[in-house]
Structures are given as structure tokens and as C-alpha cells.
Amino acid sequence: MREKAITMGKIADILQARGQLDDALKIREHEELPVYEKLGDVREKAITMGKIADILQARGQLDDALKILKNELLPAFEKLGDVRSKAVTTGKIADILQARGQLDDALKIREHEELPVYEKLGDVHSLLITRAQLAMLLWQMDARKNSQRVQELLCLALTDAQRLQIPEAEQIKTVLAQMGLSCD
């Protein structure tokens, strides 16, 4: 049963990547999720629910995606004691709030719920991405007022990206240039 659910999940991943969201959603809801529920596998159920939320978000069903993230994923990861997955989930919630224009709420989540977890875990990659996301949010809120903090966050992200030698370094340089900022 588990192996079939895993295989169906991989098929849903492919369909989702191809943009066949309805088909991917059907597989996740009707063929994958019931297996994990029957097995009592809290982690796999939460991961599958997260993928369902991703599909709903891609379809523009932000309220439904947000409901799953808040009511299903957060409690599951709290129960499992998985602070990293909980931080990833709060980041997804912040993404949705930002897309809905709830910038203050998204800012609170990024600064107080997401960023501190990655700092505590020493997760440099997630930390640099969250700093860049936070910088973009602050820029969106008030570019002039927040320009110094935006620059600080992006320069920290750039330093880490260069140290890790990942492609995001060039993207961050491009964003800095577009904003008229630099790390010199």
C-alpha cells in the first residue's frame, strides 16, 4: 500500500510540474492521502497535505491553501517536534499573506517565526533565502524607508550565497543592482 502511494505521489509530482493541477490534486486526495491516513503516518500525511496546499495556491485558491497550512501542517509538525518543517510551513503562510497584500502579517511571520528558526538551526541556505524574501517584502512595503535594512539583508544573503557557491548569488547581485544598492 505504502509503495503504491509513494509511486502515485511521484506521478502527481510529474503532473504538477507539467501544470496538470487537477489530475495531480485528484491523485493526492484520492490515492495518496487515504493510504497515509489509514497507516497513521503523520509525517507523510502532512507532506502530502503540503503538496495539496501548493496545488491550491497555484490554482489561486489561497484561502483553501492557507486553511490547510494552518489547520493541518502546523499542528502535525508541532506534534512531530519538527521545527524546520514548521518554519517552512510558516514561510508558505507568509508567501500567501504577502500575495494577498497582508504585508504586516507576512513581515511578522518572516521576522519572528521563520528567520529565528533557521538562525538557531544554522541552516545557511534557508536563512539566506528567507533574508532575501524578507528584504523583498520590506522593499515592497516602503522602499525608501526600508532601503538600509533591505541592503543589510541582501548583503548577508549574498555573502552566504557566495560562500556556498550557489547560483542565487548572481540573482541577489542582480536584485541589488536593480534596486540601486550594493554591498561595497
Distance CA 178, CA 173 (A): 9
Amino acid at 127: L
- Give the position of cell 504586516: 104
Tens-place pLDDT, residues 37-64: 999 999 999 999 999 999 999 999 999 9
Tens-place pLDDT, residues 57-94: 999 999 999 999 999 999 999 999 999 999 999 999 99
- Give the position of cell 538557531: 120
Using an 8 Å Cβ cutoff, are 117 and 129 in contact?
Answer: no
Using an 8 Å Cβ cutoff, are 158 and 184 in contact?
Answer: no
Tens-place pLDDT, residues 107-117: 999 999 999 99
> What does pTM read for this prediction?
0.90
Question: Cα angle vertex 160, ends 155, 166, to 5°?
Answer: 115
Inform me whether the pLDDT recorded for 28 exceeds 90. yes
Backbone phi, psi, residue 61, to 5°: -90, 70
**Can you give the pLDDT at residue 60?**
94
Question: For 102, which DSSP code?
Answer: -
